[in-house]
Amino acid sequence: MVKKKGAWFKNNLLYIIIFVAVLVVDQVTKYLTYTYLEEKVALIPGVLWLSHIINTGASFGSLQGQNALLIWVALIVLGVLIYSYDTFRTKTEKIFYTLILSGLIGNLIDRVLFGGVTDMIDLGWWPVFNIADSALVVGVLGMIVYEIWKKIKH
């Protein structure tokens, strides 16, 4: 079967748009935080703040100062994700995959360029996080829930 020129792009346009949107919003918010946010700002007093934190570790502050290790781990995971793209068949799987990929790359950019990840979303009761972290969490949890749902359904 001969594929039409541009078919891959057309078939994946939604995922490309999601990927670019998450990556752009993530990088713009990090840039604005890095450039302009000098002190904690209450957006919704008692509920939501903006704080400028540079995280040189991983989730929940683990592996602090292990930026080089975390870059290598991210590159390995990125390679596995790219290699396994064709295993994701449904639109739902591909959306969650895209969120994971964009979050991983968003934080990887920070690690490579700045030696740590810029975080800014502060709920007060949870570690400060960013858009890329949110995309990763939604992607991973969404994929887990979706896989469980598929098993229950069949």
The residue among 75, 139, 61, 66 whose CA lies nearest residue 102 is: 139
Which residues are catalytically annotated?
119, 133
If residue 50 lies in a helix (H) or strand (E), which one and from where to where? strand 48-55
Q: Where are the alpha helices (DSSP H) in the chain?
A: 7-11, 13-36, 67-83, 91-114, 131-153
Per-residue burial over 139-151, b = 16 or more CB atoms within 10 Å of its CB, e = otherwise = beebbeeeeeeee
